[in-house]
Amino acid sequence: MTLLSVNVNKIAVLRNSRGGLLPDVAAAAQTCVAAGARGITVHPRPDQRHIRPDDTRVLGAWCAGRVEFNIEGNAFAPARGSYPGLLALVAETRPTQCTLVPDGDAQITSDHGFDLRADAARLQPLIAELKAHGCRVSLFVDADVQDIERAREIGADRVEIYTGPYAEAFARGDFQRELEACAGTADRARACGLGINAGHDLNQANLPALKAAVPQLAEVSIGHALICEALYAGLSTTVAAYVKLLA
């Protein structure tokens, strides 16, 4: 069974747009878990546009011993204001998994994976430091990434396949090539001992084909589409639908 980790960033976006404490990010996470999600994902950024460091601490404490807690982020981004940096947040909250993503402030959302040929040397000491805090490390990679074996060589436990291009192709109705790229990367990752995660723009329409093509999927992280669907169907109902689909 593929684990569903719900990214609650969009709940924080809604809260921040108004100020105050509502909607409550922790309450939303608890609702997702009660409906069957087995993980919660956050992606704190230095500009604190959605999830904030305090949210990360609260969610990390609540998830401990209940479900997996996954922190995504750019470990190379320096501390800024009350944002202490990704490594410091991991040291404080001890997540189950840290997913390293090469994003910057100018990006609205993550839109590419690591170049393992160029980035391996500087990633290796960061991965070692993260694993010293007891968490699994996953690297965000493109579906056509080269040298996937380097991820294993530098200490990563998993890769998360960036499924944005697949989702766009699925919406156009011409997705076989992108789906095969995801499946091929998953096969190469598995062959060298890496676990496989996937995420970005996955929804109830395009997830079944991906799951069939990549049956070894360990985890999918879904936020934006799930929250959009929940506006119409309700959060508990939507999470339960994803859990059923993944089972």
63 close to 25: Cβ distance less than 8 angstroms? no
pTM of the full predicted structure?
Answer: 0.96
Catalytic residue, chosen from 72, 178, 219, 229, is 72
- Domains delineated in the chain: 3-246 (3.20.20.70)
218 sits in which H/E element: strand 217-222
The DSSP symbol for 22 reads -
- pLDDT value of residue 27: 98
**Residue 198: helix, strand or coil by DSSP?**
strand
Q: Is 112 considered catalytic here?
A: no
Catalytic residue, chosen from 50, 178, 200, 219, is 200
d(CA 32, CA 66): 12
- pLDDT value of residue 215: 96
Residue 170 backbone dihedrals phi, psi, to 5 degrees: -60, -40
Taking residue 230's Cβ as centre, other Cβ atoms within 10 Å add up to 21
List strand residue ranges (DSSP E) for 45-96, in order: 68-73
Q: The tokens of 143 are what?
A: 């579906």
Taking residue 144's Cβ as centre, other Cβ atoms within 10 Å add up to 13
Q: Is 72 considered catalytic here?
A: yes
- pLDDT value of residue 101: 95
Q: The tokens of 41 are what?
A: 């994902």
The DSSP symbol for 67 reads S
- pLDDT value of residue 112: 77
- pLDDT value of residue 113: 87
- pLDDT value of residue 209: 98
d(CA 119, CA 123): 6
Q: Is 43 considered catalytic here?
A: yes
Residue ranges of the chain whose pLDDT lies below 70: 104-108, 110-111
